[in-house]
Amino acid sequence: MLFRPVTLRGIADGVVSVAFRRWHEPRVRSGGRQRTSIGVIAFDAVDAVAADELSDADAVAAGFASRNELMAFVDRRDGTIYRIRLRLIGPDPRIALREALPDDGQLREIRSAWIASIARAATGRGRDRCCAPSTTGPAFEPRTWRWTSAGSERPSSSTSASSRSWA
């Protein structure tokens, strides 16, 4: 769900507590969350409403000056009008993670897990084909860009480009 910058500032200040969207089906769920530039927003309720149920108070709670301005915003699309009750829960948790660097022990664990995943990929475990040279599985022939059986001969360097098979 996209928000205009002025709406995000209103949510951060506590002035905007509801949003209205016209959709064919709801795009957010009650209990859901969304990361935005101001932090994490929680969706407390998502309810379908009729256009004639909307009031000036609803428009002000959504950050609009009047009901007419709100209706002009939602009438840009067709579908059902949904009222989304929302609130700011707090800052984006990724910011705190960005600030906290791992210590040497954690770096060693990350590095060894990364090396182990590369080793598994190179041996072909967990995959039916691997691009790394292997004597037990298929090998990738870079000159022809085709899968060949392991241990097959590579095209000799004396083979002319016109006689090679480029699949």
Note the pLDDT of residue 151. Answer: 55
Q: Is the pLDDT of residue 128 over 60?
A: no
- Which of residues 157 and 23 earns the better pLDDT score? 23
Q: Is the pLDDT of residue 125 over 90?
A: no
The number of folded domains in the chain is: 2
Q: Is the pLDDT of residue 24 over 60?
A: yes
Q: Would residue 27 count as lying in a domain?
A: yes
Q: Would residue 101 count as lying in a domain?
A: no
Q: Would residue 160 count as lying in a domain?
A: no
Q: Would residue 33 count as lying in a domain?
A: yes
- Based on the fold, state whether residues 68 and 143 are members of the same structural domain: no
- Which of residues 103 and 87 earns the better pLDDT score? 87
- Based on the fold, state whether residues 13 and 80 are members of the same structural domain: yes
49: containing domain: 5-93
- Based on the fold, state whether residues 86 and 121 are members of the same structural domain: no
- Based on the fold, state whether residues 45 and 125 are members of the same structural domain: no
Note the pLDDT of residue 130. Answer: 47
Percent of the chain residues past pLDDT 70, beyond the cut: 74
The CATH number for 72's domain is 3.10.400.10
Instruction: Specify burial of residue 59 (Cβ count, 10 A radius: 0-12, 13-18, 19+).
Output: buried
